[in-house]
Amino acid sequence: MNSIPIFHHIGRPVPVDALQSDPRARYSPLYRMYTLDLPNDLSLHIQLHAFREESGLHERIRTESHVAFTVEDLETALRGTEILMPPYEPFAGYRCAIVSVNHQLIELIETGLSDEQIWEEARYRGGVLYPATDTD
């Protein structure tokens, strides 16, 4: 990789019934998944993800936890890795991909946004991942 990756968040799959009816969860029609960001005393960003059966994401993404890191240059960071989800831009100013490194799922993120901007819920709405209307 081109520089030392910086920790960003942890993503953990949970059963779909754990999030499906939670009003705090966001739904992504693109990947048929629910996401819930949970605050905690350590101020670590932990996202729970629940995938419907018809989700087209790689099985490992749907069943294994991942650790996410920001990198300076996503394309450079991807070189020589096993890519499970190719780069895409879920919302403006934030590009990411998921790879497998030594059998561990890693989400690589390239962004110029501040942490506050990234975790601002309004930013998710209207993007590819979470459209303005999140009905399923």
Residues paired with residue 12 on neighbouring β-strands, in sequence order: 48
Domains of the chain: 6-124 (3.10.180.10)
Query: What integer pLDDT is reported at residue 17 of this predicted model?
Result: 96
pLDDT tens-digit profile of 74-129? Answer: 999 999 999 999 999 998 899 999 999 999 999 999 999 988 888 876 566 667 88
What is the value of pTM for the model shown? 0.89
99, β-bridge pairs: 83, 106
Per-residue pLDDT reduced to its tens digit, 42-79: 989 999 999 999 999 999 999 999 999 999 999 999 99
